[in-house]
Amino acid sequence: MRSGAVISLGTLISLILLLCFGRLFGWDATWRAFGVTPLQPPFFDMHVILDYASCAAKGFDAYVPHSCNQDNFNIPPIWLRLGYLGFDGTYSNWFSITIIAAALAVLVALLKGRSAGNGVLALAAILSPSVMMGVERGNLDLLILALVGAAALIYDERSVGRISWAAAVISAASALKLFPMFCVAIGVRCNRRALLFVSVVSVLSLVYLAAIFDDVISIRRNVPTTFILSYGYKAFFLGLDHLRTEAGLKAFDLADTWLPITAAIFTLILSAATAVSSFRRGRSFCKITGGVAGTAFLFGGGIYCGTFFLGTNFIYRLMFLLLCLPQFQDWRSGKSERGAQLVERVLYATVLSTLWLNGNATGHSSFLLVPQLINWLLFFGLAVALMSAFLNGLLSKALQGG
């Protein structure tokens, strides 16, 4: 068996177990067994979208908090068009099943052709609590994952046509959820075709943001800022206040001060210094390839680092780290130098730890300190990898120019 078969068979068995346990023990108990804190009704996040779309078609303002659902509407207005097509919350199950299947199909396409051992590791990442939280809620990020992964499969720097199609797919994903614009991280390759992709996506994204600017302000206002099942540069500081409050101590109230963003910027500076130091010493590690695996890594790493700067994100967004797996597995199967192998495997382990440790089946009240520290470590590691790729891209361009 190869990796694609392992992933497909493993997810099929998991689906059968979910259905059987769900029938025997109920939705909530089943998902808690998978390390996921469930919400009702099933596929809650998809219900939110379709409930607001249906209300908007009747003249309600979807960006007024709790106007059509217990949760807020915090995605671009293009989704409200579904209401005019007659869709409402009763279609949530079918929409959710469709995007789950699409995301899985793209992941299998990205990860196939490798060893069974790599398939087992990939399956473990896919079944992690962070990813399964998105599945349980029917979260829209699954569709975005499918689109971004498809763009990585399409992208080919030998063909302007394929680059254009990939840019169109990423631009469409950005119109649906905004943050895929962080895929411009592929510009670290510093070649003309990559910069063409970056230019197209950047221009289209900026025009779109300008067109819906008022809605973007409403979206930002409606997005919760919380430590609960979240990652991002503010989550750690919000969680510290929660721990102090539980202990009967006065909160530090650092989350809205200069300290969190300063810590994030300092981490970036440290990442840049590490990348420059390694580059000057001629140490080459985490060399991102020019094929599909490398493109997917840049998309996934760019989204993680970019969303880290949004403050807080619910942990289902960690599913975009799955895009980094093909490159990690190629490094694992390759013949890097011993020091490089160690760095690559530590970073791989950090990704798997991030996916597994951030989930919390005991409820929404607990704050997990260790996973937050690992999230920062991963932010540092991926930033180093991206900056190293940028330096290598500059060197490659300089040699070609010479």
- Quote the pLDDT of residue 129: 92
Cβ-count burial 310-320 (b if 16+ within 10 Å, e if not) = bbbbbbbbbbb
Consecutive H or E run containing 113? none
For residue 186, what are its two tokens? 């592929």
- The CA distances from residue 204 to 122, 152, 181, in Å, are 33, 18, 10
- In 112-191, which residue ranges form alpha helices assigned H by DSSP? 116-126, 129-137, 141-154, 160-177
Q: Is the pTM of this model over 0.85?
A: yes
pLDDT in tens, 348-370: 999 999 999 887 645 444 567 88
Directed axis angle between helix 325-333 and helix 338-357, to 10°? Answer: 150
- 214-218, 224-228, 362-366: range with highest mean pLDDT: 214-218
The answer on pLDDT for 402 being more than 70 is no
Confidence of residue 240 (pLDDT cuts 50, 70, 90): confident
Residue with tokens 């829209």: 140
Query: Per mean pLDDT, which range of 157-166, 194-203, 327-336, 371-380 is the poorest?
Result: 327-336
Q: Is the dihedral of CA 292, 346, 268, 270 positive or negative?
A: negative
pLDDT in tens, 107-151: 999 999 999 999 999 999 999 999 999 999 999 999 999 999 999
Higher per-residue pLDDT: 83 or 244:
83
- Quote the pLDDT of residue 373: 92
Structure letter (DSSP) for residue 186: G
Length of the chain equals: 402
Q: Which of 122, 156, 396 is nearest to 284 (CA)?
A: 396
Asked if 205 and 171 touch (Cβ cutoff 8 Å), the reply is: yes
pLDDT in tens, 256-314: 899 999 999 999 999 999 999 988 887 767 788 889 999 999 999 999 999 999 999 99
Give the mean pLDDT of the chain: 91
- In 38-155, which residue ranges form alpha helices assigned H by DSSP? 44-56, 81-84, 92-111, 116-126, 129-137, 141-154
CA angle 276, 281, 286 (to 5 degrees): 65
- Quote the pLDDT of residue 336: 61
The answer on pLDDT for 398 being more than 80 is no
Cα–Cα distance, 357 to 363 (Å, whole number): 14
